[in-house]
Amino acid sequence: MRNLTGGDPYAERYESLNQHEEPPQNPFMSETHTLDSEHSSDAYSLQSDARYPERSPFNPEMDPNYNYNYSSNNLAVPGSRQSTTSLTGLSQEYDRYPNRVSSAAPSLNSSSGQPLLYGGAAGAAAAGAAGMMGQRTSTMSDGSGSSFSETDYKTNNPFVVNADFSPFGGYPASAFPLHMEEKEADDYLHNPDPILDAKWDRRCAGGFDKRGFGSLGALACLIIGGIMIFIVLPVLTYTGITEKEAPTRTPVLSNYEYGKMAALRTDLIDPDTPDDAKSYKSNYGDTWELVFSDEFNKEGRTFYENDDQFFTAVDINYASTQDLEWYSPDAATTENGSLVLRLDAYKNHDLFYRSAMIQSWNKLCFSQGKIEVSVLLPGSGKVMGLWPGVWTMGNLGRPGYRATTDGVWPYSYNSCDAGITPNQSSPDGISWLPGQRLSSCVCKGHDHPSPGVGRGAPEIDLIEGTVGGDAVKNGVASQSLQLAPFDIWYYPNYDFIEIHNKSVTAMNTYTGGPLQQALSGTTQLNADWYEFGDNPSYQAYAIEYLNDPQKGYIRWFVGEEPTFTMYQGAIGPNGNVGERPISKEPMSIIMNLGISNSWTYIDWPSLKWPSTMRIDYVRIYQPSDAKSITCDPEDYPTYDYIQDHINAYQNVNLTMWDQAGYAFPPNKLTGGCDA
């Protein structure tokens, strides 16, 4: 235990004055000083000694020196014998906890400035000095009315010790601050200071200091951190954004490198096109000029949006024909002098196959002439399942974007009769089409790219490859014209159709359905014109057509030989519909490789993956007096109409024209207006 009085001069003086006397003991603390001990004789008994007359019971209201901090446990006398004198009536000197305000034993640092002496005469002198300096002097009275001074009482009473004990273990009180006047180093922390408080109040009311701003910033960080941890992080975790994804590999389409400007064309005719391919003699013997060509000799070309001047690889699923693949731009590139479209069993967009479709929509179009494409067909000429295609469609419809084709595909019609109405006004179900949206008799002032002219998006196919379902299972090219409105039973006038070699070509028994009429011929193909043939080789497929009302025709080719020709009379007036003219629309070019159960039976075990469709070149010829390779010709404009309805042309998920926020314009027959 620490000696709290060590080094105290008054404590040392106290020890020197009492070194020959019996050490003072507190009778209320020591176990040896009890009323039942050997000291409970007559000399020390309160009852037998005349010096200590019997006192009346203590009354707190009568004793101003009563200390409410006293403890009855400390004053109780152990033993079974009861004293006739109540110890609770003793004066302040018998209380272990001196009154800090009126104590007769001042501390070393009290305002009196007098030192405290311990024991004997020194104690009496100290008491006298205290009395002379205005300290309290108390007297005690017994029941008989006699009184005696407090000093005498302290001197003669054996229970009174001349040492002023502290309440902290029996040490002299001189070592402990017991008065309000005494100062300590940390008093400023506990005592109110009105001046300093007012100063800080003014500072807080006047605005934030650096500490205040720091505290505010810390609070803001705490709140933001809580929001991030307890709100943002759970949301991100729930949505799966925070999940780690496995590393993906990007296939290298080509190791060929060339400058960014090297692929830019300054001429519509590819410089790699041979000279003997720059002209063509038509069906009527006229010489047509080469107006566009692409030989695909530049290695590593890509066809993402805005990558190429003439072609774009779309990023869609072709849902119109329930295709099983996703058309992805990364499946199209150029290598070894060819455009390559790759079909692979590669899962993406929740589909199990990936392939490519190249379009020239709204970039490169032609209105009449000859288009020739050299193709190495994918797969084998003995295995059914794949759907390669090279075809053209009017620029008012964007292939794969069904909202744009709603009411325009495959219309090629300039009359104002039942052919422009929904279902052709026929209750027999011959047509499920909604009617021609851009008819020649749309009401004045309503939405139309060229009022007074029937517009649409007809389709002409150079080739759709398949394999015959007979025992021979030979490769077949389907070449056709898709049109609307329909002939009765979808049958054209075959008197105006010419088959050039009936040993390899025949008219297709399939002539259409409620969504389109198909005027189609099929031609047998050589097995070597396929990717997995014995000697794979390219073959050219082409269409040649003129849209003149009197001399108009469409002729299909496999190689240099024509397969069959359809003249304008084949699609003349029939039933309640008028003539369907050969397309005058600007036609865009589409090349794709698909797979769909809606096209043919799929022989899954025999298919090989990947399969590639390769295009060696694309060439377009036109009469010298009718050159037009724009998608926005003056007499059949499309650009402004497309821009005015851009939502439909950019959102592949829209399937109906009204879903894009547009309406069919009223016409003379259904709108009750003047065209």
Q: Which residue has the higher pLDDT, 61 or 462?
A: 462
| Separation CA 439–CA 674 (nearest Å) | 13
Residue 283 scores a pLDDT above 80: yes
Lowest mean pLDDT among 99-108, 378-387, 568-577: 99-108
Give the residue carrying structure tokens 């047998």: 524
pLDDT at 151: 52
Cβ 182 vs Cβ 107: under 8 Å: yes
Interval 242-257 mean pLDDT? 70
pLDDT at 361: 98
**What is the largest distance, in Å, between two alpha-carbon atoms of the chain?**
164
Lowest mean pLDDT among 156-170, 207-221, 329-343: 156-170
Nearest to 394, CA basis, from 453, 330, 321? 453
pLDDT at 21: 47
Helix segments in 363-477, DSSP class H = 402-405
Q: Which residue has the higher pLDDT, 349 or 125?
A: 349
Mean pLDDT of the chain, nearest integer: 80
Lowest mean pLDDT among 43-47, 274-278, 492-496, 576-580: 43-47
Give the residue carrying structure tokens 């009174």: 160
| Separation CA 387–CA 381 (nearest Å) | 12
Interval 135-157 mean pLDDT? 47
Q: pLDDT tier at 61 (50, 70, 90 boundaries)?
A: very low
Residue 546 scores a pLDDT above 60: yes
Q: Which residue has the higher pLDDT, 562 or 471?
A: 562
Residue 657 scores a pLDDT above 80: yes
Cβ 375 vs Cβ 615: under 8 Å: yes
Q: Which residue has the higher pLDDT, 597 or 106?
A: 597
Give the residue carrying structure tokens 């022989």: 603
Helix segments in 99-163, DSSP class H = 120-132, 150-156
Interval 503-519 mean pLDDT? 96
Q: Which residue has the higher pLDDT, 170 or 302?
A: 302
Q: pLDDT tier at 671 (50, 70, 90 boundaries)?
A: confident
Q: In angstroms, what CA-CA distances link 194 with 182, 198, 201, 266, 543?
A: 20, 6, 10, 90, 104
pLDDT at 244: 74
Residues with Cβ within 8 Å of 349's Cβ and at least 6 positions away in sequence, in order, are 317, 326
CATH code for the part of the protein at 275-671 = 2.60.120.200
| Separation CA 525–CA 500 (nearest Å) | 15
User: Domain residues of the chain, as ranges?
Assistant: 1-186, 192-238, 275-671
Could you tell me whether strands 325-327 and 353-355 are parallel, antiparallel, or unpaired per DSSP bridges? parallel
Interval 389-402 mean pLDDT? 98
Q: Which helix (H) or strand (E) holds 282?
A: none
Radius of gyration of the chain (CA): 57
Cβ 629 vs Cβ 414: under 8 Å: no
pLDDT at 113: 39
From first CA to last CA, the distance across the chain in angstroms is 117
Q: Which residue has the higher pLDDT, 119 or 555?
A: 555
For the chain, give the percent of residues with pLDDT over 90.
60
Residue 70 scores a pLDDT above 90: no
| Separation CA 565–CA 574 (nearest Å) | 20
For the chain, give the percent of residues with pLDDT over 70.
70
- The neighbour count for residue 515, using CB atoms within 10 Å, is 14
Residue 316 scores a pLDDT above 60: yes
Reported as half-sphere exposure (CB side, CA atoms, 13 A), residue 44 has a value of 13
10 Å CB burial of residue 109 (0-12, 13-18, 19+) is middle
